Structure 1
Amino acid sequence: MGADRVGGGRRGPVRTVVSVACGAVLLAGCASMPDSGDLRGVESTPRQDPQVRVYAQPPRENAEAPEIVDGFLEALTSDDSDFETARKYLTANVARTWKPEASLTVLADGPDSSEKLSSGGKDSSDAVFSLTGEKVATVDGQQVYSPAGGQYDKTLHLVREKKSKQWRIDSPPRGVVMGKSDFLRNYTSVNRYYFASNSSTESDGQPVAVADPVYVRKKVDPMTQTVSLLLAGPSRWLNPVVRSSFPTGTALKKDVTQLTPDDQNRLTVPLNAKADRVGSKKCQEMAAQLLFTLRDLTPTGVNSVELQRSDGTQLCGPLDESDAETAVVHEVAKDGYQYFIDSKHRLVRLASASTNPESFAAVPGALGEGEKELRSAAVSRDERKAAGVSLDGSDLYVGSLVSGASLGEPVLHSDGKTQNDRLTTPSWDGEGDLWVADRDPDHPRLLLLKNGAGEPIEVDTTGLDGRIDAVRMAADGVRIALIVEKGSKKSLYVGRIERGDKASGQKPIAVVEPRSVAPQLVEVTAMSWAGDSRLVVVGREDGGVQQMAYVQVDGSTPVGSAPAALTGVKVLASSEDEQLPLMAYSEEDGIVRLLSGAKWQQVVKDGTAPVYPG
């Protein structure tokens, strides 16, 4: 506790540690930390038991100004609801108006506090402290995470209150500030789910779910926090391409302060009057949004959701997981096969359920018959057709995965002078459209082929600075992952796909607001989607060696272990179904795969370009 704090002495205020087994308050027989003394020797916060609750101590009587600053910063990292203890370090007027939820700044090592103006002796009436540190990230008022860099430098102003003569803060920093280890202990990432607003499946009555990650406080009723954030609507970045089935203004009923599943893991959610007139279909979509969002928030999960009107009556019947999956496209179909290019430059496949890595065979159709030698391929998400890039990278073919199907002429050609200046590995989205980048230096572009055929559509990428080196579409069709090369640097970006008004066909398809999601890496060499809001990447930091890691689409690092190390990785392939093995092409080992809880297993030495459908 407090390991992040690097400045000032620990002059009194500390936090009380309470095991969850002891309840929400400190009870007789439960151990606690002493209420005074130095904490410099205490173990770093990430090593704490996840069931431990941490509570701050209120200001000590007649505490000096430096002690008030330390106590306030400690209280920001505690598990108090609404930061009640932190407010006790503020003047009464400021405590009422301070909005800790407005923002959160994460620092590498926690805030360093130093006194700018002496607080003097008993007669001094004010003091100013500076808070400094190296910024790692910010979390905005919507609880959306963004990587950040540069220096944090804010001031705290303290006054000695006239009546009580106690030091209190009358000018706190905006929002909350804490170190990275305290942030990881206090907050957890949760995917909220909305629906793609311009998806072709909408007309078929099946909206496509899109993940929108936020961070919530782990020990302060995360379920109610998450539901409230879901009802409030999507993040600013995702909002232009998604919709919510909850009517605008829908919120929890006014007197609802806590949501808890019953012993059957059913959650009842009372809503305000804004949702009273929602029809059955919309109500089911709303319940599906909640189910998908809350699925992994508790150890046992939420199995069903029941929505209530403002008068307490049932809005629609309880929705369970199987019904939700029927009503909404949440995950891609279970991938039947893993694919790669064999030593004969054919597209081959291996059954995902197979335990024998050598039981692969050529795919049906021309792409598996060796009619054209291939360097890379992409398989549609329904596994009915595939696209293949010729061995020299100049031509793109699309063929059916049906025995006897012919290949035909290439659907796209690149005039790049070298293989590295020609076509990237293509990628299919959930709409059945095919995406590929032409790396020709004289005409670099990102292209879309509707249903993998027809005249290629050039995608507007004016927000990108550099040449696209790799393309991976998310299954939802509204997000795209790109490796962008500029000079000697290769960076990973995630962009929002805006398709414009399909009816008018006026607005071009564009990649909008691309954001860097692995800014610490100077060279990203491979990446793949590995979940609804997660990617797996291979890259290296400045002066470092190649490493493999998971990253979130918001730029944060998910909690948990990274994939087992593997040298010389050139290509990665993973499924949005996180239960399926990770695949890779290594110069040293060929095609390999990583099963959960196992080591890398060689599939075949002479093979390249592994892919999952997509």
Structure 2
Amino acid sequence: MRRLRSGLAAVVAAVTLALAGCAGLPTSGSVQPGLPADADAGSPDFALLPDSPQPGASPQEIVDGFVRAGTGPGPDGSWAVAKEYLTPAEARRWDPTANVTIDEPGLRGFSSSAEDQVSVTTTPVATIDEIGAYSPSVEGPTTLPFQLAKQSDGEWRISKAPDGLLLDTSQFSNVFHRYALMYFDPTWQFLVPDVRWFPATNAPTYIADALVNGPPAPWLAASVATAFPEDVSASPSVPVDSGVAQVELSTAAIQLGTDTLSRMQAQLAESLQTASGVSDVQMAAGTTPLEVEPAPVRSTRVSNQAAVLTQDGFGFLTGNQLQPIPGLTPAMTQVDPVSIQLSPDRDFAAARLDGGAVARVSADDGLVVYDQRPGLIDPTVDPSGYTWSVPGDAPSQLTAFAPGHDPIHIAEAWPEATQVSAMSLSRDGTRLAAVVTSGGRPSVWVSGVVRDTKGVPSALGEPLLLQLLSGSGIAVSWLDDSTIAVLASAGDDAEVVDLTVGGPSATTPAPAGAAQLAGINNGNMRVKGVSGELYSKRGSTWPQTAVGIFVLATQQGSPR
């Protein structure tokens, strides 16, 4: 796997306070909460340089200073001040971007077993691996050992340090920011984000290197496609001139067809625009500019209006009026649903009926009952027209249904899970989020969906743990392409856990009696109470916006 590569362009990273230059992966203990959902806010307007080693510093002071110096990548991203604490040989060997361990401020301990040996003990809340992928920590305290040696001038320096950085949560959000590498779904209709965390210094270089020269995250790799051929690589420097990122590719790119180049341009443009100061991308094959428009992609935005079932029927709620959905509104009078999910083109809906069966409701086919197995949970639909259904106590029996096709058993569905209480496909169809029970505890997992180039699903990839829940899951919904929300019980109350796929989480109380959840756009959401109240989340509050709601439907996109 590729390591993060320090860039060559000069953009001073914002850094403050104490930081560390070592990281190891923990091996035991309970899950720790991650960072707040907005922890990747932009850089502050100032930058402080860490202190260099002081004359006469003790071994522990040298290690402490080295840890603190991890907050300063410097203009060239080389962590030059941190390397001053190392012997010359170790400074050449030490890799600051091999990984990052993130902990809470003020909870580190130092100990010495000998004058030339110092250890740092901490409890991580999350880790960043060598490709920039984020994982919440499911382990307990970890100890990081340092070996020191006295130099010819009598000063102590570190002769052996763990690779990587140790940052507390506030420091991490200053030094590292969240970026999205964009890949295509297998049908080349949608762009799919693969969230990574890179140093803010020289972010365009990190992004282009990871997208062009590296692979997707392992859990997602079998579910996405890239337009970049293996024989095309990117230069190790991406300068930005007047907002235009200059990406130099190997000369093999000049032989590629227009469709491939257009898709490459789309991937690069959308990926690099997540970096501050980048508004456009210019590709070149060596010194030859590649003038091409980005390939068109399908949007995953949904209507901001709530799709609901009331005593007046089914449709979009506009004020106190119900706006019918052509074809679906009359078709919905044939059923008594307890859950509804609209397909992207709104030509059909998947519903769980009052009797427990899962059905497809459409204007063309009317009512088609797909699944009558006992204990079914709310179904979900994908852009290829499949309705996904599973019994809650039999996770391995996940099945996809489509008109005119035999049911498809989805292989490798949630291994080791004993129960699934909620699930929802991303609107691009590449990922399936679910609340499962594994090892006796409810968890939020996301899995890549394996499909062929026609969009036919066949399997799930290895699940990625997003969060362990303190209570049982009630519902899960995508808020946008990279964030989901989980409605969960919290004793006698309910809470909403807001999760970045590949990032931190935040938990807020939900309205009393919350029973259904629907994501909208840009992280916004609604919930329905058990008595029919409709609430929309605004900041940390939930103002009531309607009453008399029988079912709050979720949406999987908008018509093309």
TM range (shorter): 0.7 to 0.9
State whether structure 2 residue 170 is matched by structure 1 residue 221. Answer: no
How many Å apart are 1:113 and its aligned residue? Answer: 4.0
1:543-562 paired onto structure 2 within 5 Å: 546-557=494-505
Tell me, yes or no, if the aligned pair for 2:13 and 2:47 is still in contact at 8 Å. no
Question: Residue 511 of structure 2 aligns to which amino acid in structure 1?
Answer: L
State whether structure 2 residue 507 is matched by structure 1 residue 511. Answer: no
Partner of 2:24: none
State whether structure 2 residue 407 is matched by structure 1 residue 456. Answer: yes
How many Å apart are 1:71 and its aligned residue? Answer: 0.7
* Separation (CA, whole Å) in 2 of partners of 1:249 and 1:171: 37
User: Alignment identity in percent?
Assistant: 22
How many Å apart are 1:596 and its aligned residue? Answer: 7.9
Among 257, 268, 273, the alignment partner of 2:251 is 273
* Separation (CA, whole Å) in 2 of partners of 1:563 and 1:389: 28
More off after superposition, 94-103 vs 479-488: 479-488
State whether structure 2 residue 360 is matched by structure 1 residue 398. Answer: yes
* SS at structure 1 position matched to 2:265: helix
Among 330, 335, 344, the alignment partner of 2:303 is 335
Tell me, yes or no, if the aligned pair for 1:53 and 1:79 is still in contact at 8 Å. no
Question: Residue 468 of structure 1 aligns to which amino acid in structure 2?
Answer: V
* Separation (CA, whole Å) in 1 of partners of 2:91 and 2:252: 32
How many Å apart are 1:192 and its aligned residue? Answer: 0.6
Partner of 1:86: 82
How many Å apart are 1:146 and its aligned residue? Answer: 1.0
Question: Residue 252 of structure 1 aligns to which amino acid in structure 2?
Answer: A
1:475-490 paired onto structure 2 within 5 Å: 475-485=427-437, 489-490=441-442
Question: Residue 210 of structure 2 aligns to which amino acid in structure 1?
Answer: L
Partner of 2:52: 58
TM-score scaled to structure 2, two decimals? 0.83
How many Å apart are 1:453 and its aligned residue? Answer: 5.1
Tell me, yes or no, if the aligned pair for 2:181 and 2:211 is still in contact at 8 Å. yes
Tell me, yes or no, if the aligned pair for 2:179 and 2:197 is still in contact at 8 Å. yes
For residues 471-527 of structure 1, what are the alpha-carbon distances to aligned partners after superposition, in whole Å with 9 as ceiling and x for unaligned? 201122221011113587432110111236989x9xx82222112211254433222
- 1:458 and 1:174, CA in 2 relative to 1: closer, same or farther beyond 3 A? same
Tell me, yes or no, if the aligned pair for 2:247 and 2:283 is still in contact at 8 Å. yes
For residues 150-176 of structure 1, what are the alpha-carbon distances to aligned partners after superposition, in whole Å with 9 as ceiling and x for unaligned? 221121111101x22210001101211
Partner of 2:333: 370
- 1:502 and 1:366, CA in 2 relative to 1: closer, same or farther beyond 3 A? closer
* Separation (CA, whole Å) in 2 of partners of 1:140 and 1:544: 38
- Structure of higher RCO (CA pairs closer than 8 Å, 6+ residues apart): 2
* Separation (CA, whole Å) in 2 of partners of 1:139 and 1:396: 40
For residues 177-214 of structure 1, what are the alpha-carbon distances to aligned partners after superposition, in whole Å with 9 as ceiling and x for unaligned? 222222122211111101223x3xxxxxx443211000
State whether structure 2 residue 528 is matched by structure 1 residue 585. Answer: yes
Among 272, 275, 280, the alignment partner of 1:297 is 275
State whether structure 2 residue 124 is matched by structure 1 residue 150. Answer: no
For residues 227-274 of structure 1, what are the alpha-carbon distances to aligned partners after superposition, in whole Å with 9 as ceiling and x for unaligned? 2222223122222222221222544335x3x52141xx3332222334
Among 306, 312, 326, the alignment partner of 2:282 is 306
Partner of 1:286: 264
State whether structure 2 residue 119 is matched by structure 1 residue 160. Answer: no
Among 524, 528, 532, the alignment partner of 2:481 is 532
1:91-490 paired onto structure 2 within 5 Å: 91-109=87-105, 112-119=108-115, 127-148=116-137, 149-161=139-151, 163-197=152-186, 199=187, 206-218=188-200, 220-231=201-212, 232-248=214-230, 250-253=232-235, 256=237, 258-262=238-242, 265-298=243-276, 301-302=278-279, 304-310=280-286, 312-317=287-292, 319=293, 324=294, 327-332=295-300, 334-335=302-303, 338-343=306-311, 348-350=314-316, 354=318, 356-361=319-324, 364-365=327-328, 368=331, 370-393=333-356, 395-400=357-362, 402=363, 405=364, 407-414=366-373, 416=374, 421=375, 423-439=376-392, 441=393, 445-450=397-402, 452=403, 454-460=405-411, 461=413, 463-485=415-437, 489-490=441-442
How many Å apart are 1:287 and its aligned residue? Answer: 1.3
- 1:488 and 1:271, CA in 2 relative to 1: closer, same or farther beyond 3 A? closer
* Separation (CA, whole Å) in 2 of partners of 1:596 and 1:285: 37
* SS at structure 2 position matched to 1:509: strand
* Separation (CA, whole Å) in 2 of partners of 1:378 and 1:607: 14
More off after superposition, 220-229 vs 543-552: 543-552
Tell me, yes or no, if the aligned pair for 1:484 and 1:490 is still in contact at 8 Å. yes
For residues 383-404 of structure 1, what are the alpha-carbon distances to aligned partners after superposition, in whole Å with 9 as ceiling and x for unaligned? 11122222121x232232x4xx
* SS at structure 2 position matched to 1:55: coil
Tell me, yes or no, if the aligned pair for 2:532 and 2:550 is still in contact at 8 Å. no
* Separation (CA, whole Å) in 1 of partners of 2:416 and 2:281: 42
**Larger gyration radius, structure 1 or structure 2:** 1
How many Å apart are 1:412 and its aligned residue? Answer: 2.1
* Separation (CA, whole Å) in 1 of partners of 2:475 and 2:53: 51
* Separation (CA, whole Å) in 2 of partners of 1:442 and 1:73: 48
Tell me, yes or no, if the aligned pair for 1:63 and 1:166 is still in contact at 8 Å. yes
Aligned length: 519
Tell me, yes or no, if the aligned pair for 2:282 and 2:289 is still in contact at 8 Å. yes
How many Å apart are 1:309 and its aligned residue? Answer: 1.5
- 1:513 and 1:533, CA in 2 relative to 1: closer, same or farther beyond 3 A? same
* SS at structure 1 position matched to 2:216: coil
* SS at structure 2 position matched to 1:129: strand
- 1:380 and 1:534, CA in 2 relative to 1: closer, same or farther beyond 3 A? same
- 1:495 and 1:357, CA in 2 relative to 1: closer, same or farther beyond 3 A? farther
How many Å apart are 1:111 and its aligned residue? Answer: 6.4
Gapped regions of structure 1 (runs ≥ 5):
1-22, 27-31, 34-45, 120-126, 200-205
State whether structure 2 residue 472 is matched by structure 1 residue 523. Answer: yes
Question: Residue 407 of structure 1 aligns to which amino acid in structure 2?
Answer: G
* Separation (CA, whole Å) in 2 of partners of 1:93 and 1:584: 58
Gapped regions of structure 2 (runs ≥ 5):
1-10, 18-38
* Separation (CA, whole Å) in 1 of partners of 2:231 and 2:290: 17
* Separation (CA, whole Å) in 2 of partners of 1:433 and 1:183: 41
How many Å apart are 1:594 and its aligned residue? Answer: 3.9
Question: Residue 259 of structure 1 aligns to which amino acid in structure 2?
Answer: P
Tell me, yes or no, if the aligned pair for 1:530 and 1:574 is still in contact at 8 Å. yes
* SS at structure 2 position matched to 1:86: helix
- 1:58 and 1:111, CA in 2 relative to 1: closer, same or farther beyond 3 A? farther
